[in-house]
Amino acid sequence: MTLCFATNNTHKVKEIQALLGNSFKLQSLNDIGCREELAEDQDTIEGNSLQKAQYVFDHFKVACFADDTGLEVAALNGAPGVYSARYAGVQRNAEDNMQLLLKNLKGKRNLNARFRTVITLITQSGTHQFEGILNGTITFDKRGTRGFGYDPVFVPEGYQQTLAELDLDEKNKISHRARALQKLVLFLKQHE
C-alpha cells in the first residue's frame, strides 16, 4: 500500500520508514508535489494532526497520514504541548526551545514529562486517529547528538540515557511516535 506521510522532515521520514519496513511504500510531501508549508494553527495536537492530513487528502487525493507531537511537562501545566515546535518563537529553533524550557523549569522539583504523538490517517474509507505516549523526565544536562527537538533533555522512563543518546533502533522500540505508528500499522493491516 502506498501512503503519503504529510511531512518533509527528513528525520521523521527516516524514523517512520524504518518502522514501516517493506509493508508500505512511504511518500513524503515532496514526492506528491506538495511544496507548501502545512498549517499547524489548531489549539490541540489532535487538531494539528487532522488539519495537515485533511489538507493533503483534499488537495492531492491520496491516502495519507500526518502527525503532531508535543512535549507535555507536568511542572509547566502541560506546556509547551501543542506549541512545542515554536515554544521559543516562530523560528522553530530546537536549541532556543530547549533553552527556554530549561529556564522555565529552574527551581521546579517535578521534572516529569511526556512526549505525546497523535497520528491522523485519512483514506477513502474514513478518518482515524492514533495516540502514542512516552513518559520520562527532563534533565538539565543536555546529552547526545542523535534525534532532534527536545531529545537531548528527555530521559525516557526506565532509562539513564536521553533520547538523543539512544540509537535509532532502540528509540524506535520505545518512542511516542513508534507507539502511535504501531497502532496505525496494526489498523492498516487489519483493514487492508
Q: Could you report the per-residue pLDDT of 121-139, keeping only the tens digit for each?
A: 999 999 999 999 999 999 9
At residue 190, the pLDDT reads 82
User: Is the peptide bond between 80 and the residue preceding it cis, with omega within 30 degrees of 0?
Assistant: yes
At residue 1, the pLDDT reads 79
At residue 192, the pLDDT reads 61
- Map residue 78 onto helix, strand or coil: coil
Q: Could you report the per-residue pLDDT of 153-178, keeping only the tens digit for each?
A: 999 999 999 999 999 889 888 999 88
Name, in order, each residue with C-beta under 8 angstroms of 92's C-beta and a sequence gap of 6 or more: 85, 86
d(C-alpha 145, C-alpha 151), whole Å:
9
Length of the chain equals 192
Cα→Cα distances 85→19, 36, 96, Å: 23, 18, 10
pLDDT by position in tens, the chain (length 192): 789 999 888 777 777 777 777 878 889 999 999 998 898 899 999 999 999 999 999 999 999 999 999 999 999 999 999 999 999 998 889 999 999 999 999 999 999 999 999 999 999 999 999 999 999 999 999 999 987 899 999 999 999 999 999 998 898 889 998 899 899 988 987 876
Nine cell digits for residue 123: 483514506
Give yes or no: 167 in active site: no
CATH of domain 2-191: 3.90.950.10
At residue 21, the pLDDT reads 72
d(C-alpha 114, C-alpha 56), whole Å:
28
Phi, psi torsion values for 27, nearest 5 degrees: -115, 145
d(C-alpha 160, C-alpha 137), whole Å:
10
d(C-alpha 130, C-alpha 104), whole Å:
30
> If residue 70 lies in a helix (H) or strand (E), which one and from where to where?
strand 64-73
At residue 148, the pLDDT reads 85
Pairing assessment for the beta strands 64-73 and 2-5 based on DSSP bridges: parallel
At residue 74, the pLDDT reads 97
Cα→Cα distances 10→15, 111, 148, Å: 8, 30, 11
Q: What is the amino acid identity at position 157?
A: E
| Candidates 68, 96, 141, 151; catalytic one | 68
| CB of 48 closer than 8 Å to CB of 54 | no
